[in-house]
Amino acid sequence: MTDRLFAQLRPGELDDLADDGYRRRRSADLARAFATPQVTPRSRRRPYLLMAGTAVGTAVAGLAAAAVVVVSGEPAQPPARPPAAAVPADARSFLLAAASTALREPAATGRYWYVRERTYMRVHTAPGEYAARIKALVDAQKRTEEQLKGDPGRLAAAQEEFRRKVTELKMNELPYTAFSADTRETWRPMRAGEVARTVSNQDVEVTFGSPQDEAAWRAAGSPELADRNQKTRDDAEERILSIDNPSLNLRNLKDLPTEADELGRRLDELWRQSPKESGADKAGYLWQTGVDLMTAPLRPGTRAALFRVLADQPVMKLEGRVSDSLGRTGIALSAPTQHSFTVRLVVDESTAELLQYELAVDGGKVGLRVTLEDLGWTGSLDDRPAS
Amino acid sequence: MDDPEERFTDLYDRHYRSVLGYALLRAERDVAEDVSSETFLVAWRRLAELPEPPLPWLLGVARNLLAKQRASRHRRQALVDRIAALTTARDQAGWDVAEHVVDREAALAALAALPERDVEALVFATWYGLPPEQAATVMGCSVRTYNVRLHRARKRLGQALRLGDGPRPRPRLLTTPLEDSHD
């Protein structure tokens, strides 16, 4: 009778607070542990050497553990906000923790893989002006080629000259710094041959690096810097999931290994087969492929293995806890990649999901930023994931 | 499961909430969470030596860290005060539905009169369902001592509750006919 009554004195709030603490602390706690050396169990074979050392070591470890407990605020004052967890010690320990988290997430599947991403990027050309200049070049070239018919030597030279001019035009930079942002949604069908949908150029915005840049743009006649026409495209073409890995598609992702060493070998193989379109080196390839895979419907085991593969990359740096462009908090990791770019990932601590990725040039100036606003499975081309 | 990271993650996922649930009975939320995190850091360091089942060991580490905490400038908070502080209207409603012979306040008052360790013995036996050997491990005492505490706690709480049962005012109509004279 007493036990039953005592059992009912247990406040239900304990479960809620424990769940809440568990969710907030898990990622940082796992990361901190993985960054901490373990105590080697005492060896029975060499007691004479280890005895004293181990005893002292244990006592010190105990003291250190107690000393790290944060003591703050007045005892009677309840904390105004839930306490923030410590930032993981380094990229490797964070990625190992993310691997554990990924493993915990349930596997799911559906008819369409949906991604909504907002892309923010440096504008290199004013699209209208660029198109007009290309058209002028092409028209002039047609006339030239017409005149040079029957003179293969001069025709070849003219074609060479034409390619040079086009390249020059492509490399031309605007004399001011501007950025465009737009949102794109894609629904990729799981089954081959079904119609996919892309809705691009949503909520288009143009911003400038500084008021001076904006003034320079006005002085240049305020050319339109972004395509503002929202476009919906439905077709049954197979969309490439990862530019560097044309052999991957939604259906064969499930064949990727769930074990880190094996996945590492598979990625090496994919790298050798890669058309190397982006001109990336191996490190750059790994990052781009990592991003492509993180935004794809991988099995939890493969996602975990991917984090472990990345954890073994020594060039990675942990930058700390940051907010993405939607204000979501995550851990930022960065690594140098080809052409003096730095790639920067922001990963959610509690779900190990990629929130945002960026490419920055030397000084840390962002050239491209993609924020993953939503992703998941849907049952139809009009649905969005029920999250 | 021989991979230490995986083993530790599993340990954390299984037991973190139980450890934090206990720490919350001894300290405010921020300190309780810090203590739980430290407990698991100690567990990671000693992963190869963890006993089976690990929960009593984890609770024991948390209990020791909390004891150190209390020696610091944090004033010790009585278990019963924490239970009262964490009690919500939902608990009150559940209690009322169960139609206990005493009200919740009276039961808490009876608990407050018991030695702290006796209440703790009840917590491990009833809320955590730990058998005496395991509960004794957590509390760092012999099984015999633990059993004495548990027995004493049950007896005193039972007495207090029976006492509380006696002089409870009975429904007004039957006891105080005088008050009806004003109608």
How do residues A136-160 score in pLDDT, each as one tens digit? 888 888 888 888 888 888 888 888 8
The DSSP annotation for A249-310 comes to -TTTGGGS-SSHHHHHHHHHHHHHH---TT---HHHHHHHHHHHHHTS---HHHHHHHHHHH
Q: What confidence tens digit (pLDDT) does each residue in A44-64 have?
A: 333 332 333 333 333 333 333
Chain A stretch 87-116, residues whose beta carbon is closer than 8 A to a beta carbon of chain B: 96, 99-100, 103-104
Task: Please indicate whether residue A70 or residue B60 has the higher confidence score (pLDDT).
Answer: B60
pLDDT at A126 over 60: yes
The residue type found at B59 is L
Nearest to A349 by CA among A326, A377, A373, A328: A328
Q: Which of A96-110, A248-262, B160-174 has the lowest mean pLDDT?
A: B160-174
Determine contact: A363 vs chain B, CB below 8 A. no
Work out the pLDDT band at A85, boundaries 50, 70, 90: low
In the sheet that A178-189 helps form, which strands lie side by side, from edge to edge?
A: A231-235, A196-208, A178-189, A112-122, A365-378, A354-361, A341-347, A329-337, A317-323
Whether omega for the bond prior to residue A275 falls within 30 degrees of 0, making it cis, is no
Determine contact: A67 vs chain B, CB below 8 A. no
pTM for the model: 0.58
Work out the pLDDT band at B166, boundaries 50, 70, 90: very low
For chain A, give every domain's residue range. 4-42+89-124+173-378
Compute the mean pLDDT over every residue in chain B, rounded to the nearest whole number: 80
Name residues whose C-beta falls within 8 Å of residue A357's C-beta, 6 or more positions apart in sequence: A291, A343, A344, A345, A346, A369, A370
C-alpha distances out from residue B104 to A101, B22, B150, Å = 41, 21, 21
C-alpha distances out from residue A105 to A50, A385, B7, Å = 42, 16, 17
pLDDT at A74 over 80: no
- How far out from the chain centre does Cα B70 lie? 17
Chain A stretch 32-51, residues whose beta carbon is closer than 8 A to a beta carbon of chain B: 32-34, 36-41
Chain A stretch 6-25, residues whose beta carbon is closer than 8 A to a beta carbon of chain B: 6-15, 17-19, 21-22, 24-25
Nearest to A14 by CA among B107, B26, B111, B171: B26
Q: Does A75 sit within 8 Å of B98, measured CB to CB?
A: no
Q: What confidence tens digit (pLDDT) does each residue in B137-153 have?
A: 899 888 899 999 999 99
Task: Calculate how close chain B gets to A332, using CA atoms only, in Å.
Answer: 22
Question: Is the separation of the CB atoms in A163 and A127 below 8 Å?
Answer: no
Determine contact: A55 vs chain B, CB below 8 A. no
Compute the mean pLDDT over every residue in chain A, rounded to the nearest whole number: 82
| Residue tagged 């390249």 (tokens) | A167
What does chain A come to in residues? 387
Q: State which residue of chain A sits closest to B44, comparing Cα positions.
A: A33
Task: Please indicate whether residue B172 or residue B30 has the higher confidence score (pLDDT).
Answer: B30
* Residue from B34, B69, B95 to probe the interface with A (highest A Cβ count within 10 Å): B34
